A and B are shown apart, each in its own frame.
Chain A
C-alpha cells in the first residue's frame, strides 16, 4: 500500500474486522468486509456502519459567515433555520460543479461545511479565499471524525448506545449535540444510502471509541460494518450523485437533475448568471437513470449509443455510474443522454465490450424506502 496514503482513526478496527482496504481519494479505506451484497442488504434490512472520516470539514464563523457560504452555493442557506442541514452544490462562475456539500447551520454565526475527500483541498482553498476579510475560516478535517449509521434499525442502535430521546426524534436534515457511547458527538439525521440514519461527528481522538460502542450496541439489531462498495450501490439505488462520476466541473446542476438545489431567485451567488443562461437556452443533455433490458452491466465511462445502433456507432452519451442494484434486483445506471432521449421509457444501448446492450430510461430513485 502506498506510503503517502492516509489512514483514518478507524483503520485498526477495519483490519481486525477483516476489511479489504483500498486506496480512495488519498486514503486507505475499507471497500468491503463480508461482501458488498451482504453489507448492502444489512443496510436496507437492519443497519450498517460506515467510516466516513475521510470527508472534509470546514468551519466558518463570524457575523458574515452565513452570507459568505450562501454566496458560494446554489441552494438557499440564508433562509435555513439554526440546527438544520442543507444539501447543495457549489459551482464555479461557469455554473459547473466544484463539489456537492452538506451545510450545517450550527448558529447564526457558525457554519460547518462537509465536502468530498477528493475535493477537500480545492474546496478549502475556495472557501478560505471567500472568507478572507469577511469571517473566520478553519479546515477542521484532521481533527474531525465522521461515522455514518444507516438503516431501518439505526434508531434502535443509537438508543442502545445511549443517545437521548431528542436525538432519536431528530427530523431529516436536523442535527444536535449529544453523548453517544460515552463520547461527545453531533448527530445529524442525514445519510447517503436512501435509508433512515445518522451521520455522527466526533473528535478524531474519540472516533475509535464511538465506532466500538456503536458496533457493540448494534449487535442485537444486525448492525454490520459496511464499506465503500456497499456505499456506492446503496447511493446509486437512491440516485444520490457521486462527485467525479455523475457530477464534476463539466456538468451543471441543471443537467445533473439537481435543479432542486439551485435557487435562482435567492439572490446572487457564484455561477448564477451562467445557470440563468443555461436554463433560458434549454438543456442539451440530461442525467437519467436507466436499467439494462439486455444482459450486461453498465460501468462508469461506457459509451451510450442510439437504440438499434451497432456497437462502435457515434456515442450519444456516457454512463457515469453503473452496477447491479442488489435491492432492486436489476442492473442499473446513470448516464448523460440528449434531452430528447431523457423521457422515462426512452430506449438506447450501452456499449459493453463491443456489444450494444439495450437499456431503458426509468423513474428514479431506483429504490425508495418504505415509510
Chain B
C-alpha cells in the first residue's frame, strides 16, 4: 500500500508537487524523509527567486548529511515555508502537509502534467 497521495505529482528527486490554482506547492516525499532521518535544518531560496527546472532551490540537512532540493518545474518562488526555519522537524512529522517547502508559479502550466503520477512514483520506488 503506497503512502504517497494519489492527488500529487512526483519527481525522480523524491519531491512532490500539489496543484493549487496557478501555483504548485512543493515538498519532499516520505521516502526522502525516511532516507534523511531527523531533519535539523531547512534552507530555502527567497520569494522572487526564478528557477530553471531541476535547479537547486535550497538545502535540507539531517543530523548526518546535507542534501540539495531541486525545483520540479521551472518557475518563480512566490512563497517559502518560513516556519521550517525554526521547526525543521515539521518535515519529519508532516511531509505532505505542514512540511511543504515552497510555492512556485510555474513558467509553463503544462509542466505539472509531465511529472510522475503516484503510480509511476511508486514504481520508481519499487525499482530502487
Name A residues whose Cβ lies closer than 8 Å to a Cβ of B: 31-32, 35-38, 229, 232-233, 295-297, 299, 323-324, 326, 331, 353
A36 touches B63 (CB 8 A): yes
Which residues of B have CB within 8 Å of A331? Answer: 40-41
Q: How far is the CB of A123 from chain B (nearest CB, A)?
A: 27
B37 at the interface (CB under 8 A from A): yes
Bound complex: CA A35 to CA B38 (Å):
7
By beta carbon, the residue of chain B nearest A232 is B64
B85 at the interface (CB under 8 A from A): yes
Contact of A229 among B59, B63, B66 (CB under 8 A): B63
B61 at the interface (CB under 8 A from A): yes
Contact of A36 among B38, B61, B66, B85 (CB under 8 A): B38
B37 touches A229 (CB 8 A): yes
A297 touches B37 (CB 8 A): no
Number of interface residues of B (CB under 8 A): 12
By beta carbon, the residue of chain A nearest B34 is A20
A297 touches B64 (CB 8 A): no
A326 touches B64 (CB 8 A): no
Q: A36-B63, A323-B63 are in contact. Are A297 and B40 (CB under 8 A)?
A: yes
Which residues of A have CB within 8 Å of B40? Answer: 297, 324, 331
B41 touches A296 (CB 8 A): yes
Bound complex: CA A296 to CA B38 (Å):
15
Bound complex: CA A324 to CA B88 (Å):
13
Bound complex: CA A278 to CA B43 (Å):
43
13 A-B residue pairs with CB within 8 Å: A31-B64, A35-B38, A36-B62, A37-B63, A38-B38, A229-B37, A229-B64, A296-B41, A323-B63, A323-B64, A324-B41, A326-B63, A353-B59
By beta carbon, the residue of chain A nearest B92 is A35
Q: Mark B51-71, 1 if CB is under 8 A from A, else 0.
A: 000000001011110100000
Name B residues whose Cβ lies closer than 8 Å to a Cβ of A: 37-38, 40-41, 43, 59, 61-64, 66, 85
Which residues of B have CB within 8 Å of A233? Answer: 63
Q: How far is the CB of B82 from chain A (nearest CB, A)?
A: 13
Which residues of A have CB within 8 Å of B59? Answer: 353
Q: A229-B63, A323-B64 are in contact. Are A36 and B41 (CB under 8 A)?
A: no
Bound complex: CA A257 to CA B70 (Å):
41
Q: How far is the CB of B76 from chain A (nearest CB, A)?
A: 22
B41 touches A295 (CB 8 A): yes
Most chain A CB within a 10 A radius of its CB, from B37, B38, B62, B63: B63
Which residues of B have CB within 8 Å of A37? Answer: 38, 63
Contact of A299 among B38, B43, B66 (CB under 8 A): B66
Which residues of A have CB within 8 Å of B61? Answer: 297
Which residues of B have CB within 8 Å of A324? Answer: 40-41, 63
By beta carbon, the residue of chain B nearest A36 is B63
By beta carbon, the residue of chain A nearest B56 is A353
Contact of B41 among A31, A32, A38, A297 (CB under 8 A): A297
By beta carbon, the residue of chain A nearest B64 is A229
By beta carbon, the residue of chain A nearest B86 is A295
**Beyond A38-B38, A233-B63, 4 additional pairs, beta carbon < 8 A:** A37-B38, A323-B64, A324-B41, A331-B41
Which residues of A have CB within 8 Å of B64? Answer: 31, 36, 229, 232, 323
By beta carbon, the residue of chain A nearest B61 is A297
Which residues of B have CB within 8 Å of A36? Answer: 37-38, 62-64
B37 touches A295 (CB 8 A): no
Which residues of A have CB within 8 Å of B43? Answer: 353
Q: How far is the CB of B67 from chain A (nearest CB, A)?
A: 12
Bound complex: CA A188 to CA B41 (Å):
38
Which residues of B have CB within 8 Å of A32? Answer: 37
Bound complex: CA A31 to CA B37 (Å):
11
Bound complex: CA A331 to CA B62 (Å):
12
Bound complex: CA A232 to CA B34 (Å):
20
Q: How far is the CB of A223 from chain B (nearest CB, A)?
A: 20
